[in-house]
Structure 1
Amino acid sequence: MTRTTTSGSCAGFTLIEMMAVMLIVSMMASLVVTMIPGTGRGKLKALTLQTAALLRRERLAAVLTGQSRFVSLDGSARTLVGQSGAIAIPRDVVVDVIGVDERWSGRRAVVRFAPDGASTGAVLKFSWENVRYEVDVNWYNGRVAVDIP
């Protein structure tokens, strides 16, 4: 009994089939990673940069409008609140604020920007597990700097 193969084909997978399987596996892996709860280093860095952007917007608005602008921390809602917006802080992120020890509208004061660009100064420390980022607001000139290691 002789065995013949038609057109010389062999059993197995083609390169295109393997690429399709790899694409499907990588898509599933990316979905799983995005669904995992928790902040993570990337989200903590994004939170730090969003906070710096909020503080810079408030400082610029104070200079342009000639009126003082405030940023405060709502501890119960876990949000940083400015007149130009608010930023939600995830539950697993620890926030330490070094600066003004006052309360504005029932929220803990973070920083006040004067019309000349100066501020009350503040340091906001965001930490998650062993990762920590800082946002520094200079009291003299109101400059907002981000310390990302």
Structure 2
Amino acid sequence: MAPTRTAGSCAGFILIEMMAVMLIIAMLASLVVAMVPGTGRGKLKALTLQTAALLRRERLAAVLTGQSRRVSLDGNTRTIVGPSGAVAIPRDVVVDVVGVDELWSGRRAVVRFEPDGASTGAILKFSWENVRYEVDVNWYNGRVAVDLP
């Protein structure tokens, strides 16, 4: 004769089984969120800070070497290029540059830093959906400031 089960012995999941199922669902959800393409607020902020760091390096290099340093925007590869490096701009980010209206080596001029610390000045606006960050380069003293709302 087969053993009989009582109603309480397998009436539902126990707490540990429920927690394991919830953990698996949470892990899958985090993978999906991480794999979704797009920039997002965090990546836009990181892009802004990387650009500011590049501009600060170029200003410092101009002062230390005694030679002018140029930073430009390559529209074909969507990169901000300086002698010390480059910052790639994702396709879904809109970049607006207010500054020198010239072409340097086939790229749009962003800013030129002089050996005395001064610059041509520029404002770089990075926007994605309803989020916008700015990098301001002061024309008089070359100071690079980031405007994060």
Q: Please say whether Structure 1 and Structure 2 have the same fold, judged by a TM-score greater than 0.5.
A: yes
Task: Give a deviation string over 1:2-24, Cα, whole Å, max 9, x none.
Answer: x9879x96543343333322222
Q: CA deviation at 1:48?
A: 0.8
Regions of 4+ moved over 6 Å: 3-6
Aligned counterparts of 1:18 and 1:84: Cα–Cα separation in 2: 54
Aligned counterparts of 2:83 and 2:125: Cα–Cα separation in 1: 21
C-alpha RMSD of the superposition: 1.9
Q: Give the count of matched residue pairs.
A: 146
Aligned counterparts of 1:4 and 1:11: Cα–Cα separation in 2: 14
Classify the secondary structure of the residue corresponding to 1:37: coil
Show the counterpart of 2:98.
98
**Equivalent pairs: percent with the same residue?**
87
Task: Give a deviation string over 1:89-144, Cα, whole Å, max 9, x none.
Answer: 11111111000111111100000111121111000011112111110000111111
Aligned counterparts of 2:16 and 2:62: Cα–Cα separation in 1: 59
User: What's the TM-score once normalised by structure 2's chain length?
Assistant: 0.88
User: What's the TM-score once normalised by structure 1's chain length?
Assistant: 0.88
Query: Is 2:45 the counterpart of 1:45?
Result: yes
Task: Give a deviation string over 1:65-97, Cα, whole Å, max 9, x none.
Answer: 222111100011111001111111111111110
Show the counterpart of 1:111.
111
Aligned counterparts of 1:45 and 1:146: Cα–Cα separation in 2: 10
Show the counterpart of 1:58.
58
